[in-house]
Amino acid sequence: MSMIETRTEPMVVNFGPHHPSMHGVLRLMVTLDGENVIDCEPVLGYLHRSMEKIAENRTVVQYLPYVTRWDYLATMFTEAITVNAPEKLADIPVPKRASYIRVIMLELSRIASHLLWLGPFLADIGAQTPFFYIFREREMIYDLFEAATGMRMMHNYFRIGGVAADLPYGWVDKCEDFCHYFLKKVDEYERLITDNPIFRKRVQGVGVLSREDAINWGMSGPMLRASGVKWDLRKVDHYECYDDFDWEVQWATDGDCFARYMVRVGEMRESAKIILQALKGLPGGPYENLEARRMAEGPKSEWNGFDYQFVSKKPSPTFKIPKGEHYVRVEAPKGELGVYIIGDDSPFPWRWKIRPPGFVNLQVLPQLVRGMKVADIMAILGSVDIIMGEVDR
Amino acid sequence: MSTGMDLQQSFVQWLEGLGLTPGVAKTLWMPLPMVAVLTFATLWALVATWLERKISAAVQQRIGPEYAGPLGMLIPLADVVKLLAKENVRPGKADRWLFTLGPVVVVMSVLLAYIIVPFGQHLVITDLGVGIFLWIALSSIAPIGLLMAGYGSNNKYSLLGGLRAAAQSISYEVPLALAVLAVAMMSNSLSTVDIVEQQTGYGILGWNVWRQPVGFVIFWIAALAECERLPFDLPEAEEELVAGYQTEYSAVNFMLFYAASYLNLVLSCLLVAVLYLGGWESPISIEALAAWLNLSLDNPLVQVIAAAIGITMVLIKAYFMLFLAILLRWTVPRVRIDQLLDLGWKFLLPVGLANLLITAALKLAFPAVFGG
């Protein structure tokens, strides 16, 4: 049977850098046939700030205030990897208490990052209201950060061998209150979003990434776990003290935008669980007890022990990164955040290569949007969760 | 039978009493309803924009406008003033005529449709025999304006938005007409006044929403789609197409689009009230109340009160629907274009047809209840 065929000239449209739902300064050159996407090419480089080169001209302590600008929504992770890399290279021990504090901060940061993914993701598919709800909770996390570090967003809190300062009085209670409150709020999000038929229709079966493709493209984080790979560096690398806690890796098998949504929502709950356990098991307990007991018992107090310190030894500003090379990675909210470091026994790293999860996850975008509709570009891009700060660095 | 006030008759009689000829008196009457409609429709649209802010703020746990006037009520006026004061930019390579006429066509088609909305037996600009049909005809002009705007802007986002607007309007016009047709069949008339008349007398029980629940839902969905409200605001689709057909518009032209969109929403809500919620009829019928209070319906005071209640009732019902529309907008995400067309053609159209058939069957079976 012969069919009448209508043909239109493909239309090339630039989405971004000025487009309202293009995260940061990403530019997508999209070839459209009417509403259908034929092809898509991401163009990067509008934000390039020579992060790696600058790192090679700074000592670690000098560079630390700058690293929170990689992924400015999951700031603690950039600091963690910046101190972890030289720590691993120089084999510096971390006190148990410092490690617990780090885990609490990292997981709070993970919640904040996932929250600020959830709002824009839903805004991308047209629902504006959750955007305001997520800020309600995120502000509280930032209040906690402010109380502990003095800054809301760009903290400069991690140090080689520990953290910059111990938790202030009352912080542990405040954080615990937040976790209980937050778990209820996640339920609220789920009631509002998860079973909404329009939301389901917009995200289920959209942007499907198979297990093989996810592995072959080098995906990590929720992108990988939503495609059926139970790969979480917190479980795989056994770093910090994650093995002390009882928690599950969140994963799904569908590999579509909905699976990624479910994985992230699940991770927020798991993070809250980890924080609650870490607060409970914090070596030395809340700060006021520790300090009071240390004062009362004098210099021979067991609380003067190594594991109850917040930092192993105050790092010298001219700390020399020993000769050698190492690749160190942490499980950031967006995936594997790694640093490949080469030291040559000087205060400056000889090479500082950042492996940002967003950059790697973004590669797969053209494959995911090909053959979909215009509206799906936003849903898929939203579900990939990129931050241009770390993609372009 | 003629109950209620007839303002035109009174006005003409009053002028004739002053010594004018009937012709002059009628000519003097003619512009008044038009001005009234223009004023009130604009006022209602402004109220709608204010409500949109306040309700969305409540939904999002914000306060919303507060300082400009009590509860920020002057904000809509400030908007108008601001948009009037801004520079009206036309892109260099835009089509001059299409670009300029687009918003005008859209606003005119919506405003014209207000002439068939009745607020009482005689509180309507014209009681046309084809009233509701006229509205459907007029509302299909608006997408032409959107298409003109989208095509004339010389912008790819706008072009996509304009095409979406056309596709969407065409697909939802059909279920809308089918839903209205079922009502018209029950009322034996296309005139909006007759449609309301047919629902009067039994208070809340007589409203069409009980006899046409499916039609009511179809009409509401289709009306939302016609007004381009979320979840159906694809032609604008801020997150996808920046602002669709409005992308290149600024100042007055932008205001015209916005006014049209809110005027259209208010109009749709008014028509829901008229078609399904008994129009000016109050939940407890005025006739029953008057009889109970031993008052004659011809009593001038009763007539004035009845008219006031009628207008209030129409507005309350319309604004209740408007509240639902705003609440919906801030709750649900946006559908995709293919899902939108699927819903229109594959779901609403067959359901609308079935509803029409069932209504016809019921009309034959129970002529007393279904207006045989």
Answer whether B221's CB lies under 8 Å from B213's CB: no
Q: Token match 């005071």: residue? A: B301
pLDDT for B195:
81
Mutation target vs A (from B171, B230, B240; most A CBs, 10 A cutoff): B240
Give A123→chain B minimum CA distance, Å: 7
pLDDT of residue B1: 37
The pairing of beta strand A351-355 with beta strand A335-343:
antiparallel
Cα(A293)–Cα(B85) distance, integer angstroms = 69
pLDDT class for A6, splitting at 50, 70, 90? Answer: low
pLDDT tens-digit series, residues A67-125: 988 888 888 999 999 999 988 888 888 998 899 999 999 999 999 999 999 988 998 88
* Cis? peptide before A93, omega within 30° of 0: no
Across the interface, do B333 and A13 touch by the CB < 8 Å criterion? no
Q: Nearest-CA neighbor of B255 among B38, B111, B86?
A: B86
> How high is the ipTM of this complex?
0.79
Which whole-number Å values give the CA distances from A252 to A194, A334, A382, A383, in the listed order?
Answer: 15, 16, 18, 14
> What's the CA angle centered on A152, arms A150 and A158, to 5 degrees?
60
Specify the range with the lowest mean pLDDT, choosing from A18-27, A263-272, A326-335: A18-27
Structure tokens at B182: 């079922």
- Tell me the pLDDT band of A275, cut-offs 50, 70 and 90: very high
Kindly report the backbone phi and psi dihedral angles of residue A14, in degrees, each rounded to the nearest multiple of 5, phi listed first: -90, 115
pLDDT at B279: 78
Closest CA to B68 of B60, B76, B58: B76
Those residues with Cβ within 8 angstroms of residue A316's Cβ, 6 or more apart along the chain or in another chain: none
- Report angle CA A197, A199, A205 to the nearest 5 degrees: 100
What whole-number distance in Å separates Cα of residue A279 and Cα of residue A285? 8
Q: What SS3 class is residue A338? A: strand
Structure tokens at B228: 């381009």
Provide the residue type at A248 as one letter. Answer: E
Longest Cα–Cα distance of chain A, Å, equals 95
Q: How far apart are CA B139 and CA A202, in angstroms?
A: 29
Nearest to A126 among B61, B156, B333 (CB): B333
Q: What single DSSP character describes residue B100?
A: H
pLDDT of residue A108: 92
Q: Is A66 buried (19+), middle (13-18) or exposed (0-12) by CB count in 10 A? A: middle
Token pair belonging to B372: 């045989």
- What residues of chain B, 2 to 61, have a C-beta less than 8 Å from chain A? 56, 59-61
Nearest CA to B191 among B266, B124, B272?
Answer: B124
How far is the C-alpha of A268 from the C-alpha of A107, rounded, in Å? 9
Interatomic CA distance for residues A179 and B134, integer angstroms: 59
Q: Are A144 and A132 in contact (CB under 8 A)?
A: no
Low-confidence ranges of chain B (pLDDT < 50): 1-3
Q: What is the pLDDT of residues A172-215, one digit of tens each?
A: 999 999 999 999 999 988 988 888 888 998 898 888 999 999 99
Query: Of the given ranges (A38-47, A251-260, B233-242), which has the lowest mean pLDDT?
Result: B233-242
What is the residue type of A285?
G
What's the mean per-residue pLDDT of chain A? 88
Put simply, the answer to whether A198 touches B335 (Cβ < 8 Å) is yes
Supply the DSSP string of A168-182, one letter for each residue. Answer: PTTHHHHHHHHHHHH
Q: Which of B239, B246, B326 to mutate to test the interface with A (most CBs of A within 10 A)?
A: B239
Among all residues of chain A, which has the CA nearest to that of B161? A35
Q: What is the pLDDT of residues A329-370, one digit of tens each?
A: 999 999 899 999 998 888 899 999 999 998 899 889 999 988
Q: DSSP state, A94? A: -
Residues 164-203 of A with CB under 8 A from B: 192, 196, 198-199, 201-202
Residue partners of B372: CB distance under 8 A and separation at least 6: B363, B364, B366
Q: Is A363 in a helix, a strand, or coil?
A: coil
The residue ranking higher by pLDDT, B230 or A383, is A383
List the structure tokens of A6. Answer: 């209508």
- Check CB contact under 8 Å for A202 and B333: yes
Non-local CB neighbours of A305 within 8 Å, separated by 6+ positions: none
Q: How far apart are CA A352 and CA A342, in angstroms?
A: 7
Interchain pair B333, A378: CB under 8 A: no
pLDDT band of residue A7 (cuts 50, 70, 90) is low
